[in-house]
């Protein structure tokens, strides 16, 4: 039996949940698949999930804590007898899946790009060493793994399943006092096919007007480096890198970004990398496909013009 933890926003399944279902289906030689919806409004979301899976548990546990999620997932594991658990790999999932793996005495494969089975093990591919190395890992069943977002085709509905409420004894210890949501505007950074990132070399928060204009002309999302976020020029939600978001767009345009390894960890798998930097020795040029060696204050307005002309 395989158990999929289905991510949702309280109303609908997220895309990541459909990716996780696809991952589970790829392992169907290991047995049937069940799903679990954890959190709030789980009955309604589980009804949607039942269009994809033969059996769906709904664990109504209230707002997120890693303890509750791990406990609910574990209850579903015990109920279903699952020996493989598939979850999507955001920050939160990578916290509670570690708790779950420990409860199950299972091997944990984190942030996998691909997964397969030989009947006894799960074999997963993933990045390591700040996204520089690609490695294949293997663990004997039972296994918990997380699937890196945007790596797997979305599952299509298939049959119709049954929904069952799941009783979970709720662990305490953490009380949520305040939620601080991120204001989102424009294209989602992690899903964008074009990303335009500004670095400290832009010199001021005002200069980001140009970055936004170029992004607008290209239908791109805006990214930022840590230097820029630390300076308070841009919100943390836009940061790309080791401690920010990981992106893998068709083209990543880095404007006045030096290209520190911690930044590269969030963007080095982009299909094409473009850099504008006045320093020809900047590390970003070593991983760039195209670049302009020049002053961003002169090049950026010209780029905006050229991009707008292209659209007309």
Write the DSSP symbol of residue 230: H
Of another protein, ligand FAD, none, which one sits near residue 199, judging by CB under 5 to 8 A according to partner kind? ligand FAD
Q: Which is nearer to another protein, 156 or 305 (CB)?
A: 305
Q: Are 96 and 69 in contact (CB under 8 A)?
A: yes
**Is position 302 an interface residue for ligand FAD (rule: CB under 6 A)?**
no
Site track for another protein across 64-103, x = CB under 8 A: xxxx--x-------------------xxx-xxxxxx-xxx
Among 1, 113, 227, 261, binds another protein (CB under 8 A): 261
**Is position 207 an interface residue for ligand FAD (rule: CB under 6 A)?**
no
Place of tokens 């269009």: 51
**Is position 279 an interface residue for another protein (rule: CB under 8 A)?**
no
**Is position 209 an interface residue for another protein (rule: CB under 8 A)?**
no
**Is position 201 an interface residue for ligand FAD (rule: CB under 6 A)?**
yes
Q: Which is nearer to another protein, 163 or 277 (CB)?
A: 277
The CB density around residue 92, as the number of other CB atoms within 10 Å, is 15
**5 contacts: CB under 8 Å, gap ≥ 6:** 20, 35, 36, 38, 69, 73, 76, 85, 86, 87, 88, 93
CB of 147 to ligand FAD, least distance (A): 22
Of another protein, ligand FAD, none, which one sits near residue 82, judging by CB under 5 to 8 A according to partner kind? none
Of ligand FAD, another protein, none, which one sits near residue 258, judging by CB under 5 to 8 A according to partner kind? ligand FAD
**Is position 158 an interface residue for ligand FAD (rule: CB under 6 A)?**
no
Site track for ligand FAD across 244-273, x = CB under 6 A: x-----------xxx-x-xx--x-------
Of ligand FAD, another protein, none, which one sits near residue 75, judging by CB under 5 to 8 A according to partner kind? none
Of ligand FAD, another protein, none, which one sits near residue 32, judging by CB under 5 to 8 A according to partner kind? none
Q: Are 107 and 36 in contact (CB under 8 A)?
A: no
Question: In this structure, what token pair is assigned to residue 162?
Answer: 């049954």
From CA 151, how far away is CA 242, in angstroms rounded?
19
**Cα Dmax for the chain:** 63
Parallel, antiparallel, or unpaired: how do β-strands 162-165 and 143-147 relate? unpaired
Q: In which element (H, E) is residue 286 found?
A: none
From CA 229, how far away is CA 189, in angstroms rounded?
15
**Is position 251 an interface residue for another protein (rule: CB under 8 A)?**
yes
Site track for another protein across 112-151, x = CB under 8 A: -----------x--xxxxxxxxxxxxxxx-----------
Residues pairing with 209 in the sheet: none
From CA 237, how far away is CA 164, in angstroms rounded?
36
**Is position 148 an interface residue for ligand FAD (rule: CB under 6 A)?**
no
Write the DSSP symbol of residue 8: B
Helix/strand/coil for 138 = strand
Please report, as ranges, the residues that interact with ligand FAD according to CB under 6 A: 199-201, 225-228, 239-244, 256-258, 260, 262-263, 266, 277-279, 282, 295-297
């Amino acid at each position: 039996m395989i158990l999929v933890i289905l991510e949702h926003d309280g109303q609908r399944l997220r895309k990541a949940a459909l990716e996780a279902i696809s991952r589970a289906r790829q392992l169907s030689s290991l047995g049937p698949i069940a799903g679990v919806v954890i959190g709030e409004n789980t009955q309604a979301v589980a009804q949607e999930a039942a269009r994809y899976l033969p059996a769906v548990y709904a664990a109504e546990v209230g707002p997120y804590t890693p303890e509750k999620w791990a406990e609910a997932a574990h209850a579903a594991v015990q109920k279903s007898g699952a020996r493989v658990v598939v979850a999507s790999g955001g920050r939160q999932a990578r916290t509670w899946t570690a708790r779950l793996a420990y409860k199950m005495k299972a091997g944990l494969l984190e942030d996998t790009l691909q997964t397969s089975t030989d009947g006894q093990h799960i074999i997963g591919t993933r990045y390591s060493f700040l996204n520089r190395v690609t490695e294949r890992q293997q663990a004997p069943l039972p296994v918990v793994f997380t699937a890196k977002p945007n790596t797997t085709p979305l599952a299509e509905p298939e049959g119709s399943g049954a929904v069952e409420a799941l009783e979970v004894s709720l662990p305490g210890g953490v009380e949520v006092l305040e939620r601080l949501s991120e204001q989102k505007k424009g294209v989602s950074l992690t899903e964008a096919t074009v990303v335009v990132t500004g670095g400290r070399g832009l010199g001021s928060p005002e200069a980001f007007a140009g970055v936004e204009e170029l992004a607008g002309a290209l239908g791109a999302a805006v990214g930022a480096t840590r230097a820029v976020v630390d300076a308070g020029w841009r919100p943390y939600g836009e940061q790309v890198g080791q401690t920010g978001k990981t992106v893998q767009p068709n083209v990543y345009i880095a404007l006045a970004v030096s290209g520190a390894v911690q930044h590269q960890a969030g963007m080095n798998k982009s299909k094409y990398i473009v850099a504008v930097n006045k320093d020809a020795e900047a590390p970003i040029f070593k991983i760039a496909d195209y670049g302009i060696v020049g002053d961003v204050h002169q090049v950026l307005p010209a780029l905006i013009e050229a991009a707008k002309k292209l659209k007309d």
